[in-house]
Amino acid sequence: MKKNTRNLLNGILALSIAGGVLMSNQKAGDEFSLYFGLLHAHTAISDGSGTPEEAYDMAKSHGLDFFAVTPHNHKSAEFGAKADRKDGVLIANDNALYNGSSVKTVTQKFASGNKELKVKPLLMAARDATDDDFLAIYGQEFSAISKGNHMNVLGIDEVIKAGNGNFNALVDRLDQLDSPPILQLNHPNVQQDLFYSGNKSSTKENMFNDYGIDAGDLGPHFSTLISKLDKYVHLIEIFSGPAMQKARKENHHDKYPHHNDYFFYLKQGFHISPSAGQDNHYKTWGMATDIRTGVFAKDLTQESVFEAFRGQRTFASEDANASVKLNIGDTFMGSNMSATIDQSLKIEVLIQDPDEDKEEAIITVYGGLVEAEDSKKATNVKQSSGRLIEETVEIGTRSIVLDQTATGDAEFYYVVVEQQDGDRIYSAPIWVNHPKKNVNQDQASIDQSTKQLFVWTKNKRSKVYHLKNCPSTQLIKDTNRQSGYTAPTGRVQHNCKIESEGN
């Protein structure tokens, strides 16, 4: 989308709003401006190509309002990478490539020979690329696909040290930070991570612990997982890739959008909204396809955009400048509302697209009850099970597409738009009777700080576990460190010698 088009739309909207107060003909959500960007990309400081500075410049030149560069945090980031991206340059090996104070010259050690590359550290590149019309976001892609999948950690100033798959250690560290980052569930795959039913032992071993759901990490019950993660996880990647694309792909439609994962995690209780990322590994930042994350924010500053992420005011689109707004009465998408049993819920939608105004689009409404489950007994539920109605509406016109009756229980609703050219847009949900809870407490309202935290190594040769302050825990490598409020089965407590305070 061209910048002047977005500014025109936001300018017209501003005329209808006085001091951030909605006029009588406006709906909740109309007080925000609309911005488009992407939240997942790589450069040569992990397993990609080019520099962060180049990435931001290219994204800006292709009309994006915001763009995130998210290198892998771990030393095995280049495992499986092709020769043209495998050079040994990683933020895990040299933290200064992430948060250093000066430009560095690094040696890229390719199989074909060495090359010198000047790299402006990521945080510095983001700071220098940000201006009134562009927000450069920085972060990291945590963990490995074989260790519970990837999470983007946006806005963190240090290189993450928690070992792959150790989501408990990640949360422990995030809890210590003054400025909490934004977490995104990257390219989720519930089918492979939780519901694999084959007999291949390597797949069984590697493809579980989806975002920390294993017992001994943050699971095995989703209520426990969400009690730890819901304060940080706000986004889920609906459209991802094509990660290895080396040139622009016209009229791209994602063959495998992650809508079933979106629906599944909403049913488990997460407060998340859709995003899109090209996951670029080559120099195609912002131009590989037209997929975009749309966000409704007060302005184009990191503070406001991150506030919008935390408020789940996003959508994922295959059209570079199309948007969707979802309202139920005075509640805008990303928010929770209260409703009594049998209360009327008028689901209202507005699609906007400067290129297709007054054309028709198909709206499908989905909804479901929030019912957190034990991951070992979870239902393999699909988005199709929550389909409520399909309607044809006019782009540019607000339409009430469904008058639903509230159940009185915790539930959610969102819409999927399909335009005539096949482009799809996934809205954020509106929750009913499902506010965010005190995330420092578990589902049984037990203060975890009063419970005993145990620590152990994931090395299977060890037969012991430790109390949190046991001096022997200092001998456990970060990559092997595990912790939890339930002692691991098959091990005995170590004879920990803990000095009392004041000694």
Beta pairing, strands 314-317 & 424-426: antiparallel
The confidence score (pLDDT) of residue 312 equals: 98
Nearest to 1 by CA among 375, 356, 496: 356
The DSSP letter of residue 406 is P
Decide which of 432, 466, 485 is a domain's last residue. Answer: 432
Q: Please check whether residue 440 lies inside any domain of the structure.
A: no
**Considering the chain, what percentage of its residues have pLDDT values greater than 90?**
63
The confidence score (pLDDT) of residue 86 equals: 83
Residue 216, both tokens: 């001994």
Encoded amino acid at 324, one letter? V
Q: How far is residue 75 from each of residues 90, 134, 483, measured CA to CA in Å? A: 7, 31, 22
Which has the minimum average pLDDT: 414-418, 445-449, 466-470?
A: 445-449
Residue 448 has pLDDT above 60, yes or no: no
Q: Please check whether residue 54 lies inside any domain of the structure.
A: yes
End-to-end CA distance of the chain: give it in Å, rounded: 65
Q: C-alpha dihedral over 19, 22, 26, 32, to 10 degrees? A: 60
Are 258 and 160 members of one domain? yes
Mean pLDDT, rounded, for 175-181: 92
Instruction: List the beta strands (DSSP E) in 343-446.
Output: 344-352, 360-369, 387-394, 399-405, 411-418, 424-426, 430-432
Are 207 and 88 members of one domain? yes
Q: Please check whether residue 194 lies inside any domain of the structure.
A: yes
Say which residues have a Cβ less than 8 Å from residue 375's Cβ, sequence separation at least 6: 194, 210, 213, 214, 219, 220, 221, 222, 225
- Whole-number Å distance between alpha carbons of 30 and 23: 10
Q: How far is residue 62 from each of residues 36, 59, 118, 316, measured CA to CA in Å? A: 11, 5, 24, 18
Are 226 and 172 members of one domain? yes
The confidence score (pLDDT) of residue 328 equals: 98
Would you place residue 61 in the very low, low, confident or very high pLDDT band (cuts 50, 70, 90)? very high
HEC assignment per residue over 159-214: CCCCCCCCHHHHHHHHCCCCCCCEEEECCCCHHHHCCCCCCCHHHHHHCCCHHHCC
The range of the structural domain enclosing residue 480 comes to: 452-493
Mean pLDDT, rounded, for 125-154: 91
Residue 157 has pLDDT above 80, yes or no: yes
The confidence score (pLDDT) of residue 499 equals: 61
Mean pLDDT, rounded, for 480-485: 70
- Edge-to-edge, what's the strand order for the sheet holding 331-332? 331-332, 323-328, 344-352, 399-405
Are 422 and 487 members of one domain? no
The confidence score (pLDDT) of residue 144 equals: 76
Note the Cα 449 to chain centre separation in Å. Answer: 27
Mean pLDDT, rounded, for 206-232: 84
Mean pLDDT, rounded, for 142-158: 85
Are 423 and 468 members of one domain? no
Return the ∠ at Cα 339 (arms to 334 and 343), rounded to 5°.
120
**Considering the chain, what percentage of its residues have pLDDT values greater than 70?**
87
Q: C-alpha dihedral over 78, 55, 154, 424, to 10 degrees? A: -100
Q: Please check whether residue 105 lies inside any domain of the structure.
A: yes
The confidence score (pLDDT) of residue 210 equals: 80
359 CB-side CA count, 13 A: 14
- Taking a C-beta distance cutoff of 8 angstroms, is the pair 38, 278 a contact? yes
Q: Please check whether residue 437 lies inside any domain of the structure.
A: no
Are 150 and 223 members of one domain? yes
Are 456 and 369 members of one domain? no
Report cis status (omega within 30 of 0) of the bond before 220: yes
Would you place residue 441 in the very low, low, confident or very high pLDDT band (cuts 50, 70, 90)? very low
Would you place residue 407 in the very low, low, confident or very high pLDDT band (cuts 50, 70, 90)? very high
Nearest to 363 by CA among 328, 339, 398: 398
Mean pLDDT, rounded, for 30-48: 96
284-329 pLDDT tens trace: 999 999 999 999 999 999 999 999 999 999 999 999 999 999 999 9
- Whole-number Å distance between alpha carbons of 280 and 48: 7
Are 309 and 356 members of one domain? yes
Encoded amino acid at 86, one letter? K
The confidence score (pLDDT) of residue 11 equals: 45
Q: Please check whether residue 170 lies inside any domain of the structure.
A: yes
Are 457 and 428 members of one domain? no
The confidence score (pLDDT) of residue 268 equals: 97
Domain count, the chain: 2
Nearest to 353 by CA among 418, 305, 298: 418
- Whole-number Å distance between alpha carbons of 106 and 84: 16
CATH number at residue 246: 3.20.20.140
Residue 41 has pLDDT above 60, yes or no: yes
Residue 35 has pLDDT above 80, yes or no: yes
Q: Maximum distance among all alpha carbons in the chain?
A: 76
The confidence score (pLDDT) of residue 440 equals: 35
Residue 197 has pLDDT above 70, yes or no: yes
The confidence score (pLDDT) of residue 19 equals: 39
- Whole-number Å distance between alpha carbons of 209 and 204: 11
Nearest to 366 by CA among 345, 390, 349: 390
Are 281 and 206 members of one domain? yes
Q: Please check whether residue 446 lies inside any domain of the structure.
A: no
Nearest to 332 by CA among 354, 367, 308: 308
- Taking a C-beta distance cutoff of 8 angstroms, is the pair 414, 428 a contact? yes
The confidence score (pLDDT) of residue 204 equals: 67
The confidence score (pLDDT) of residue 33 equals: 98
The confidence score (pLDDT) of residue 277 equals: 95
Note the Cα 272 to chain centre separation in Å. Answer: 8
Say which residues have a Cβ less than 8 Å from residue 260's Cβ, sequence separation at least 6: 190, 191, 382, 383
Q: C-alpha dihedral over 54, 59, 60, 64, to 10 degrees? A: -160
Nearest to 234 by CA among 300, 314, 161, 168: 314
Are 479 and 413 members of one domain? no
- Pick the residue with more confidence: 463 or 2? 463
- Taking a C-beta distance cutoff of 8 angstroms, is the pair 465, 488 a contact? yes
Q: Residue 333 class from Cβ within 10 Å (0-12 exposed, 13-18 middle, 19+ buried)? A: buried
- Pick the residue with more confidence: 14 or 282? 282
Mean pLDDT of the chain: 87
Which has the minimum average pLDDT: 151-160, 166-175, 383-392, 431-440?
A: 431-440
Are 409 and 481 members of one domain? no
- Pick the residue with more confidence: 40 or 110? 40
- Whole-number Å distance between alpha carbons of 59 and 65: 8
The confidence score (pLDDT) of residue 29 equals: 95
Residue 69 has pLDDT above 90, yes or no: yes
The confidence score (pLDDT) of residue 52 equals: 97
Residue 10 has pLDDT above 70, yes or no: no
318-370 pLDDT tens trace: 999 999 999 999 999 999 999 999 999 999 999 999 998 889 999 999 999 99
Q: Please check whether residue 84 lies inside any domain of the structure.
A: yes
